[in-house]
Structure formats: structure tokens, C-alpha cells
Chains A and B, each alone.
Chain A
Amino acid sequence: MSAIRNWLGAHGVMLFGLLVLAYLCTPIVVVVLMSFNDPASRLGYDFDGFTLDNWTSICDPYQMCSSVGKSIQIGLMATGLATLLGSLMAFAMVRHHFRGRSTSNVLIFLPMASPEIVLGSSLLALFVNAGFAGQLGFWTIFIAHVMFCLSFVVITVKARLAGLDPRLEQAAADLYATEWQTFWRVTFPLVVPGIVAAALLSFSLSFDDFIITNLTSGQTVTFPMYVWGAAQRGVPMQVNVIGTIMFVLALSMVVGGSVLRRVREAPARG
């Protein structure tokens, strides 16, 4: 009895932690499993049998693949602009002196602290008041996505910049590099991993956003909006194929990235 108690004392936290991880990961298993589901009826959401049909007919459900394309297009464009604007802000905040720093901090922090429904509804109020109620669509989604991705880019790039050793730049300056040369040959290459991480984060935020997109989209259908619509009238199993592909791609990027980092850092450690 006391052996069990000792074991629990030593490993109980880990055991509980693993159970919580199982709770976090079960829905992913369901998504993957459902991508092989052969549904008995359109309205049910149960596993009825195994089939590969969903994988061979991914684009059969009307409008689904075009909605994925739309999400990718918006995601890439919003990520591009948000990453550019956000990185510039991060450089300014870590490396430059300017007035109104704390106000800027609040302005960057607030969108992350606001519920999505408030962000979406205030943008919609603006568009309606500005007379754009009839023109909601691609560009209004783009504007919204750049807005909410921006803050996440700033904090991610800022963290990377603040973690840099300032002596590296001082060394470059000591060796007669101009400010411009120092930036492009020393600072920028060191910050690239932070910028890449920020871009990946903002693409995934944009691709997956529903609440804000739903309020600013008009007739434009992104993938999350497609899933939402489908949830009301019967979910085609192909959405789970898309979900599985997303999962595998993102997982391989994260794992690949960390392997790459380890390989690169290995020689430095000797």
C-alpha cells in the first residue's frame, strides 16, 4: 500500500498531466479518424465505417476547396503585411528612442486583450458607418486580419530582438561596419527566426479565425465559415481531411524547424 502511495507521490503529477494532455489531444484523433469515416447519414456526426473515399474526393463538397483557397490567399496576404508592419514596430520599440512608448505598448496590447466578438463588431460598426456595408468581403477580411495579427507579430519579434546579445552589434561597429551594414549582416539574420515564427503564428491565426471574419466577410466564404455553415446542415467528412492535412503540415513544420535548429547548433556546442 505504501509502495503505491510512494509511487503516486513521485509520479502522480506526471500521471495527471498526461491525462490532461490526452484531453487536449483526443479531438485531434477524432478529426483524423473522421477523415476516414463512411457516414451513414448526412446529418449525424458519428463514426460509421472505414473508407478512403473522403481522401480521394476532397473537393467534391460544393465550395469547400474554393473556401480553403480563399483562406490561404487571405492568410498569405494578411501575414505578409502584418509581419512587415509588426517587425518594423518591434525594431522601433527595442532599438529606437521615441516618445509615446507606453501609449504604443497599450495600443499594441489592447487588441490581444479584447474579445474577438468586440473587435469584429467594432470593425463592422465602422464599415457600416463609413458606407461600406455593401462592400464587405475579401478586403474587409484582409483589413481585420492584419489588425489582429499585428500585435502578435510585434511581441514575437520583440522577444527575439530583446534576447539578442548587443555586443554582437557593438563588435560590428568596432570593426568599422556602418549602421546599415551592421543591420543587414548582423542584426537582421539573427532576428529572422523570430520573424519566421511571427509569420507562421499570424498565418495560423488568420487561417483559423472565425468570429471576426464572420462579421466582416459579407458573401465571401473562408474555410472556417464553410465549416460553420456546414455544421448547420450536415458536415461533409472531407472537412476532416482538410483538418488532418493542416495538422500534419503544421506538425512537420514545428518538428522540422526544431530538428533544423538542433543540427545548426550542434557544431557550435562542439
Chain B
Amino acid sequence: MSALSHVPGPTGGTPDVQATDPGTERRGITGYLLMLPGTVWLLLFFLVPLVTLVSSSLYDPSGSLATGYSMTGHVQNYADALSEYGSTFVRSFLYALTATIACLLLGFPLAYAIALKAGRWRNLMLVAVIAPFFTSFLLRTLSWKLLLGDDSWVVNALQALPLVPDDLRLLATPAAVITGLTYNFLPFMVLPLYASLERLDVRLVEAAADLYASPFTAFRLVTVPLAMPGIVAGTLLTFIPAAGDFINSELLGNPRTRMIGNDINDLFQASVLPTASALSVMLMVAIVALVAVYVRRSGTDELV
């Protein structure tokens, strides 16, 4: 099952879709006919483009849109792209990782509060979690430009604190980019965590307490393992879009906080097809590899 099926739909429907019992399944040609149009669309506009992307990454770099490209199996594109943009790759993954950890640290208590403490306020709090989706991603990110600006109340309040330098800047720093990434992808962490925690049987935690586990031990040995599917789904749903994002680094960062998405986007806009494709393929491969290793290590193979 997909990691995303742990996100409760807007109807609050069943979070887990399992294979139906065979009694209600119908045989015959209808199933194929129903699958056909959507499958063709995904093949033509998702899978074929991915293959084209890989082949474009092997084009001779001397080509251009006007003169056309020739397929020379130029693997050197990858080495060139890596040597020029390798540090941006590392930076992107570091930012995305930091934002994911921040999302987990902020999102877990929130999801826990909604699932187990909110009572009749539960639905209201859930609406507040998805409320950011009700308005434009770009406008919300632009608001952080105002909130983190040099003369904003956030910065002024921080400067008033002891140990914080008076010339503290937030806008156009890595901190601003990470704040934006954390903010934008936090709901993707909270919703799957909530879906797991909501099904948590509180009696198991109570049983741990009865057996003399301290609250922390009970949390570590009972709550966290039971919430694991939500933690894995949430971290993936946060990390993947964060690693490819360039909106936050463009609007909140500076030229030294560029992420790999900025470069891929700019190179495509400038029609440098082979290098741009090579970078895009590397991003995809890196993410698929990370996801595979991570899912296997966390022992929740059934997620994907």
C-alpha cells in the first residue's frame, strides 16, 4: 500500500485500503476497460516522460533547442553536472533533512494532542492543520518574507532575548529557507501521524505504566513503535517535496542558499537540456534510493 493512503481523505474515510475480499470481485473484461484510460494517461505522461528524461540526459551537450540534440550516450553529462552542482545537492538534502526533523519534532506533539487530548475540539484542530492548503502556497511563503523581514516583530522579539545578537538577520539566511520548508510541509507530517495515533489503543500505554514503566519509557517502547507507520509516511511525505522544492529558497533565501530545484528549473528555462535532465534524474534516483533504504531499515515494508 502506498505511504499516502495513511493520510485521511477530506471525508475522514478509512485510512487503510486493503485488497477487497474476493467475494465482491468481478472477473471479465470490465476491469481492464476501467483501468485502460487512466493507465494510458499515466504511461504516456508519467512513465514515457521519465524515460525521455533519462535519454535526454545522455544527449550531446553541444546541442541546443534550435539545432536539435544528438543522442551520443554522453555519460560525461553526469560527471560534469555532479562536479558543478554536487554541493547544491548536498545542501538541498541537508535543508530537507533539517526541515523533516523539525516537522517531526513539531508535528508529533501536535498530532498526539489532536488524536488523544483534543476531545470535542478534534475536528476544529484538524481543519486548522489543513487550513494552510486553503490559500496559495506562494502567498503563504511570501508571508514569511514579511514575518522574517529585518524589521518584523519576530526578529525584534528574538533580538530582545538575551544571548541573541542585536543585528540578528533571518530573511535571506538558511534559517529562513528551513523555516519556510518546515512550515510548508508540516501538514504532510501531521496528517499521517494523526492517522496512526488516532488508532492507538491507550490501554496499551496504561498497561506499560501499570508494569512500572516511566512515562518516557512507555512512550519510547509503546507509543513510538505503534506510531511508526505514521512516522515513516510523514517523514517521506515531508522529505521528498522538500528536497525538490525551490520556491522557499528563491523567495526566502539568497544566492548561497540555492537548492537543486533552483538549478534544475533555471537550466530547463535556459534550455540546457542534457545537464538539466541529468540533474533531474540524479535527484529522482537519490530520492528513490533513500526511500528504499529508509523504508527497509524502519521495518515497514508494507508501506510502499
Contacts and interface: CB of A to CB of B under 8 A. Distances in A.
A154 B146 CA distance: 38
B132 A25 contact: yes
Interface of B: 1-5, 9-11, 13-15, 17-18, 20-21, 23-28, 30-32, 34-35, 37-39, 41-43, 45-50, 52-53, 55-56, 65, 106-107, 109-110, 112-114, 117-118, 123, 125, 127-147, 149, 151, 183, 186-187, 236, 240-241, 243-247, 251, 260-261, 264-265, 268-269, 271, 273, 276-277, 280, 283-284, 287, 291, 304
Given A28-B131, A108-B42, A210 B2 contact: no
16 contacts: A27-B140, A31-B135, A31-B140, A88-B38, A95-B31, A96-B26, A113-B4, A121-B280, A146-B45, A150-B38, A150-B42, A159-B15, A162-B20, A197-B11, A204-B134, A254-B134
A121 B38 contact: no
B109 A154 contact: no
Given A163-B13, A224-B138, A125 B109 contact: no
Closest 10 CB pairs of A and B: A115-B244, A96-B31, A17-B113, A92-B34, A250-B134, A122-B49, A30-B143, A98-B31, A27-B143, A122-B53
A204 B271 CA distance: 30
Contacts of A96: 25-28, 30-31, 34
Given A46-B151, A95-B24, A111-B42, A89 B35 contact: yes
A259 B287 CA distance: 41
Contact of A247 (B9, B38, B134, B145): B134
Nearest to A226: B138
Tell me the dominant secondary structure on chain B's binding face: helix
A118 interface: yes
Contacts of A242: 136
Contacts of B113: 13-14, 16-18
A163 B151 CA distance: 52
A8 interface: no
A115 B135 contact: no
Interface in A1-26: 13-14, 16-18, 20-21, 23-26
A206 interface: no
A146 B41 contact: yes
Nearest to A258: B123
Nearest to A123: B49
A143 interface: yes
Contacts of B187: 24
